Chain A
Amino acid sequence: MSLSNEQRVELPVVEAPEHPARRVFLKAAAGAVGCVYAGMIGYPVYRYLESPVEKAAAAAAVSEVSLPKADALPPGSALMFKFGAGPALLIHQKDGSWSAMSAVCTHLACTVQYEPERDRIFCACHGGVYDPKTGANVSGPPPRPLDQFKVAVGAGSVTVTRG
């Protein structure tokens, strides 16, 4: 038989003496547990959200791209292709030489274009100009040259390699 509420004995409330050390310890322990929980939730959420970032980094690790039929590119023209995660330019110069470089402007990451009539690489966003052979920053805001790649022209394809 269980005691009904009416029969329950009221225990006297004993005032616990102050234990500052215990209080400090409990507060610190609660804070630590809270941090552990925040980490246990925060870490998976962070990894979940940054998943594509990791994938893009893996894609960017590509060091060689083969471009079929690119050897037929006429002099004075360029081909845009994907190298790793970003766009890149393959240029067949008017003098017959070849060059390849990243097409991502070193200023604020717009995609640049080859302008054969003015013999330059131009970024339309802020007017950056690069040399089409070396990728050197010639004028405008770009702080450094475009990343340069190695080009090997074969029969029926062009191979671009990270330098």
Chain B
Amino acid sequence: MELEPAVTSAPPTAAPTAEAPAQAPAKLEPPGAPGSRLRRLYEWADERLGLTELRKFAAKKTVPEHRHAFWYYWGGISLFLFIVQVLTGVLLLVYFRPGPEAYDSVRRITYEIHFGWLVRSAHSWSANLMVFAVFVHMFSAGLMKAYRKPREFTWWSGVVLLLLTLGFGFSGYLLTWDEVAYFGTKVGIEVAEKTPVLGRPYANLLRGGPDVNENTLQRFFALHVVIFPLLFMPVLVLHLWLVSKHGNAVPPSEEAKPAARRKSVPFFPNFMMKDLAMWLIALNVIAIFASFFPWQLGSQADPLKPAPVGIHPEWYFMSSFQVLKIFGDWFPGAAGEMFGMAVFTLGLGLWFLLPLFDPSSKNGRRARLATYFILFALAVLVVTTVWGYLAL
């Protein structure tokens, strides 16, 4: 009996993007010579999995090529660093113990288990690099106006992923249970506690009591390894699916060009190989940082000991730390933190709603308000971070 090819549905329609089509896609020859074992294996799998459909989709997919195309890599780099987080995180989970033994288990991982220092350092460095990559990705996507129709949900899911990334950072930071982890978490939650009405119950719930203690560690562990990953994964899938559906956004300067003058490269293999090269660079950067600057462990958290002199938050919270310090100077007492929380909330809300600022502009060039807002946010972030370090 002659088997009909299983491909009955239409191949996935290309995203309605305005980019010029790339060079004609290469012929989709199945692998192996006709009748060969490899060919028959491919055909067997193809009938069941629809491989040809996937290959057609991959062959059709293109990535725009222009002077700002470098910034396209940063989403992929963030994804790679997240994958490193998952893998090293699972490895740490093999020896880490939440609860009263947390500090001892981290000490054991860092100083006793073979290459434990490397796994832990890779996790910490990759976490920091991931936050950095996510910020670069966000600001570059914002400045390229990638959030415009039809990509609003890509932006919104991205903001959610950013917040979860910071949540991962904040919750993971406590798990080592050393002095800086203890005080960092204490101060971080204390700030949220200054929110009127809801602040205190929320802070108590987060801490599992009126103060940071072993309950806090246990629930931060649950957040860090179960809750946040459960929330992160589906949003990440949505984000990637939307990127795949709509294709890469092109900046207004590219859009202004006539279609015939725009260039693009096939996603597979051209862009993917470059993407993988970036991943390799990221891997090497992690390896270099983790090997030459391994993460250390401070002395065990002790609620009866004073905070160590010169204690400061991780760089990605330095900006908000400094902003709160400035507001604290302006408004004495809890008013400073309250004002700070209000400003952060407002800023985040505006950031989230960014796609709605320039809904009507055809090419985005006139949407100066959004550009100024992004540049202002970037400037505030950089200036207050540098200021924070100078003021230490």
Contact = CB atoms under 8 A, between A and B. Distances in A.
A40 B291 CA distance: 12
Nearest to A4: B67
A37 B283 CA distance: 10
A50 B67 CA distance: 49
For the residues of A in contact with B, the DSSP-based class is helix
B67 A5 contact: yes
A51 B113 contact: yes
Contacts of A40: 287
B67 A49 contact: no
B255 to A, nearest CB: 14
Nearest to B261: A5
Contacts of A50: 114
A47 B115 CA distance: 7
Contact of A48 (B67, B114, B261, B283): B114
B116 interface: yes
Nearest to A5: B67
A45 interface: yes
A54 interface: yes
Contacts of B131: none
Interface residues of B, number: 15
A44 B123 CA distance: 14
Q: 5 closest A-B pairs (Cβ-Cβ)? A: A44-B115, A47-B114, A51-B113, A48-B115, A51-B114
A48 B261 CA distance: 54
Interface of A: 5, 37, 40, 44-45, 47-51, 54
B91 interface: yes
Nearest to A54: B114
B118 interface: yes
Given A49-B94, A51-B113, A44 B67 contact: no
Contact of B119 (A5, A37, A44, A54): A44
Given A5-B67, A48-B114, A51-B112, 7 more contacts: A5-B66, A37-B283, A44-B118, A45-B91, A45-B115, A47-B115, A48-B91
Contacts, number: 31
Nearest to B94: A49
7 contacts: A5-B261, A37-B283, A48-B91, A48-B115, A48-B118, A48-B119, A50-B114
A33 to B, nearest CB: 9
Nearest to B280: A37
Nearest to A48: B115
Interface string B69-107: 000000000000000000000010010000000000000
Contacts of A47: 114-115
Nearest to B108: A51
Nearest to B253: A5
Contacts of A54: 114
A156 to B, nearest CB: 35
A98 B261 CA distance: 95
Nearest to B257: A5
Interface in B102-155: 112-116, 118-119
Contacts of B94: 48-49
Nearest to A49: B94
A103 B116 CA distance: 34
Nearest to A47: B114
Contacts of A44: 114-115, 118-119
B167 to A, nearest CB: 27
A150 B351 CA distance: 76
Nearest to A44: B115
Interface string B278-293: 0000010001000000
Contacts of A45: 91, 115, 119
Contacts of B114: 44, 47-48, 50-51, 54
A50 B283 CA distance: 24
A50 B116 CA distance: 11
Contacts of B119: 44-45, 48
Residue of B115, B119, B283 with most chain A CB atoms under a 10 A cut-off: B115
B216 to A, nearest CB: 28
Contacts of A37: 283
B43 to A, nearest CB: 26
B321 to A, nearest CB: 34
A14 B143 CA distance: 37
Contacts of B91: 45, 48-49
Nearest to A45: B91
A49 B119 CA distance: 11
